[in-house]
Amino acid sequence: MPNRHYPSWRLNVEVDAAAKGHLPIAMASPRHYLIEYKPWSIWYKDIKMSTNIRKDIYEIVHAYNAKTYWESARHTSREIVNLVDWEGIDTSMKEVPRHQNTFVTKHVVGMCGIGKFLKRWKERETVECPQCLTPVEDSVHVWRCPHPKASALWYRSVDNLMIWMENINTSWDIMDAVQTYLHSWMTDTSPNVDIPEDLLSAISAQDMIDWGVSLKAGCQMSGQLLNTDTTHFSAHSVPEKGGW
């Protein structure tokens, strides 16, 4: 308990000064010793801690909760959540600026500058889409808005995606399937394309994950689809700015 004649602000100042005084001593004579060889290994359940212990700990602390969130938010199962190429997303997210990651994350979870939230934040009078006047503008509607301006942007964006996929030597079959399935998701119609035998399993995995979530800057693409044939898009690079 601080003495009432001795104000707490003065204690803070003194403690802070003492800590700063100790710092040079601690740096000059560290109390941690470097062990030259590996005397033991550390395990958490069936995960062996690697030299990149920061990544391991981050995964143990956050991966379970993140996957549980997606399981609940998408009303899906852990098996389907595990179909997502999380490693690929990790790589892609690190390749774009932090503010872009923040934007993508907000859009993926649906909490961004859309009618639903702008009304709640008192920045807009109504929740309806300002373009097509659909009663509720949510993050999915942003992609599916039927207004001619929004549709034009959609088709231009898919074209840009195709150009990018072509530039990284994606097979025509995969491009054809991705383009068709994206358009069918956008228009809520059945995809009309012949899927080659070797792509069926990958397409089916993406079907289960949902094509809609795959749009958000390459988020939540199936690992199978990403690694089919010679294609490794998203796992190793992301579209140029303005592509998606």
Residue 80, CA distances (Å) to 5, 36, 72, 85 in order: 64, 43, 12, 11
Neighbours of 49 (CB within 10 A): 14
Determine if 142 is a binding residue for Zn ion (CB under 5 A): no
Determine if 145 is a binding residue for Zn ion (CB under 5 A): yes
Judged by CB under 5 A, the stretch of 63-71, 114-122, 143-151, 226-234 that binds Zn ion is 143-151
- What the block records as the tokens of 87 is 């490693």
Determine if 131 is a binding residue for Zn ion (CB under 5 A): yes
Residue nearer to Zn ion on the CB measure, 134 or 171: 134
Q: How many residues in total does the chain contain?
A: 244
Residue nearer to Zn ion on the CB measure, 115 or 239: 115
Residue nearer to Zn ion on the CB measure, 96 or 132: 132
Backbone phi, then psi, for 25, in 5-degree steps? -65, -45
Least separation, in Å, of the C-beta of 196 and Zn ion? 35
Judged by CB under 5 A, the stretch of 118-126, 142-150, 168-176, 190-198 that binds Zn ion is 142-150
Judged by CB under 5 A, the stretch of 51-59, 87-95, 107-115, 141-149 that binds Zn ion is 141-149
Rounded to whole angstroms, the Cα distance separating 201 from 52 reads 34
Determine if 91 is a binding residue for Zn ion (CB under 5 A): no
Residue nearer to Zn ion on the CB measure, 101 or 131: 131
Instruction: Put residue 229 in one of left, alpha, beta given phi > 0 → left and psi -120 to 50 → alpha.
Output: left
Rounded to whole angstroms, the Cα distance separating 88 from 110 reads 21
Judged by CB under 5 A, the stretch of 38-46, 55-63, 131-139, 211-219 that binds Zn ion is 131-139
Contact partners, residue 91, CB within 8 Å, separation at least 6: 235, 236
Q: DSSP E strands: which ranges in 148-199?
A: none
Determine if 132 is a binding residue for Zn ion (CB under 5 A): yes
Angle at 234 between CA 230 and CA 235, to 5 degrees: 70
Determine if 180 is a binding residue for Zn ion (CB under 5 A): no
Least separation, in Å, of the C-beta of 133 and Zn ion? 7
Judged by CB under 5 A, the stretch of 42-50, 97-105, 134-142, 226-234 that binds Zn ion is 134-142
- B/e letters for 204-215, b = 16+ CB within 10 Å, e = fewer, are ebbeebebbbbb
Residue nearer to Zn ion on the CB measure, 139 or 231: 139
Residue nearer to Zn ion on the CB measure, 67 or 119: 119
Rounded to whole angstroms, the Cα distance separating 48 from 60 reads 11
Residue nearer to Zn ion on the CB measure, 134 or 227: 134
Residues that bind Zn ion in the complex, under the rule CB under 5 A: 129, 131-132, 134, 145
